[in-house]
Chains A and B, each alone.
With several copies, the nearest count.
Chain A
Amino acid sequence: MNLQVRAGEMVGLLGHNGCGKSTFMRIVATLLKASAGDCFVYGSNVKTEGDAVRHHVGFFSHVPGLYDDLSARENLAFAATMLGFPEADIDAALERVGLTHVTNERVRGFSAGMQRRLSLARLILQRPRLLLLDEPYNNLDVAGIALMNGFIRELNAAGGAAVVVLHDLVPAQGVIDRTVTIKEGRVVVPTADDLRHDGASPQAITLPAGAAGIS
């Protein structure tokens, strides 16, 4: 499975249920080890240089990854400390995702969409260079989708790359540069331009440093 993403490029990842999209994202995020093949993020191998990769990657998964018993603000403050970023931006991030009215409320009572928004706020704090979004529009209302798209465009403008898992292209219109489809464990290329196919060893590909390369 070969896929190369350039800096500043937003790639949509399609594929039918159970084809391995989430698994793929988790491998790139260093949360799973691929049994074969290599994957490089800005020149670092996800298998062996996990820590370097984690400096670049922001992952928005199926699950919110929040602490139910901390408030929205405390959750972000914890994330900021762990990421090594100043806590100053927290209120701005909360405002941006429209959660100021529940800043000090515990996440336990949040609805599915509110939790997704808070996860988004964490990504906003982090401003990763490679964004991995797994069905990011689930549970988000129209305003939420607009927020998400705004954030993606912003990162894009700053030269970040993104891979977005999607089933429905409509909400992502205007932010996705191109789409690829996973089929039977391979990338099927709708637009063949950007991809180097490596017939001999389809599981391994090395990419130039400076780009987010995923093979």
Chain B
Amino acid sequence: MSPAPASSFAPPKPTPVWLGWLTFAFFIFTQIYAVVTSPADAMMGHLQKMMYVHVPAAWVTFAAFGVVLVASLFFLWKDDERADLLAASAAEVGSMFCGLTLVLGMLWGRPTWGVWWSWDARLTSTLVLFLIFVGYLALRSFVEDPHRRGQWSAAVGILGAINVPIVWMSVKWWRTLHQIQSNPRGLSPEYLRGLLLNVAAFTLLTVWFIWKRYEAARLERAAEHASQAAALGGYNG
């Protein structure tokens, strides 16, 4: 039996679960707080409250894909497997939140715009971003060799992250149905407070999810390493 190849792949110590519960509790609190404190909007009425989930979800999506970009670059530079696993975890969580943004946006759009979907630049570019990272995840599942998987998905992740600024700027570049970025000062404080609190809660949630996924991925990799070593070790494994 050859010794475990990379000592960096001792599986990480698990983070305590109560941290997760705390994060989740904070999220529930900010949601209730925002919904209770904000008055009904002049135009949208109580529908405005969708903002407290839709907008933070969109922002953490960008943040997660930003992590993919940085981690992928770092992986290509330093060839550190952990960076690859971090990128993968961030991509998974980012795709989830991207999907959430889409769904919540559609649920919001139906009553306010009268349609589930329209082919405007913000909506379509968000959908495209989602599809790009679905491709990223598919690529990962189709490639067996870990090193190869890391390099390929890093390339795809970096190219995919190019689309984040496109989504961001889409409302400026093209005339859209969708709201353009508003100035924080333009938003009245009773909305802003709730929004910022929720953004904080979503960010914590994202960090928690990414971290948990990352831990799991490291455990998987450690197992992969072990089975590889066993395979090379032969019959008696």
Contact = CB atoms under 8 A, between A and B. Distances in A.
Interface string A77-99: 00000000000000000000010
Given A33-B147, A35-B225, A108-B144, A23 B2 contact: no
B234 A18 contact: yes
A23 to B, nearest CB: 7
B5 A183 contact: no
A202 interface: yes
Given A18-B234, A19-B232, A185 B5 contact: no
A36 B8 CA distance: 12
A33 B149 CA distance: 13
Nearest to B235: A101
17 contacts: A16-B234, A18-B231, A18-B235, A35-B147, A35-B225, A35-B228, A101-B237, A109-B144, A109-B231, A184-B1, A184-B2, A185-B2, A185-B232, A185-B234, A186-B2, A203-B2, A203-B5
Interface string A156-184: 00000000000000000000000000011
Contacts of B1: 184-185
Name the residue among B228, B229, B235 with the largest chain A CB count within 10 angstroms.
B235
Interface of chain B: mostly helix, strand, loop or mixed? loop
Given A35-B228, A185-B234, 17 more contacts: A18-B234, A19-B232, A19-B234, A20-B232, A36-B6, A98-B235, A101-B236, A108-B144, A109-B231, A183-B234, A184-B233, A184-B234, A185-B1, A185-B232, A185-B233, A202-B2, A202-B3
Contacts of A108: 144
Contacts of B3: 202-203
A121 B210 CA distance: 45
Please name the 3 residue pairs, one residue from A and one from B, whose CB atoms are nearest each other, closest first. Answer: A185-B2, A36-B5, A35-B5
A10 interface: no
Interface string B169-209: 00000000000000000000000000000000000000000
Nearest to A18: B234
Contacts of A23: 232
Among A35, A36, A101, A186, the one with the most B-chain Cβ atoms within 10 Å of its Cβ is A35
A33 B237 CA distance: 22
Nearest to B228: A35
Interface residues of B, number: 17
A1 interface: yes
Interface SS of chain A: helix, strand, loop or mixed?
loop
A184 B236 contact: yes
A35 B2 contact: no
Contact of A185 (B144, B225, B229, B235): B229
A35 B146 CA distance: 10
Nearest to A47: B79
A184 B231 CA distance: 9
A18 B231 CA distance: 8
Interface centre among A19, A33, A36, A108 (most CB of B within 10 A): A36
Contacts of A16: 234-235
Contacts of A186: 2
Nearest to A143: B235
Nearest to B4: A36
Contacts of A19: 232, 234
A146 to B, nearest CB: 15
Nearest to B231: A109
Interface in A178-215: 183-186, 202-203
A185 B235 CA distance: 11
A60 to B, nearest CB: 22
B163 to A, nearest CB: 30
A183 B144 CA distance: 25
A202 B232 CA distance: 15
Interface string A21-65: 001000000000101100000000000000000000000000000
A19 B231 CA distance: 8
Contacts of B147: 33, 35
Interface in B142-158: 144, 147
Contacts of B228: 35
Contacts of B6: 35-36
Contacts of B225: 35
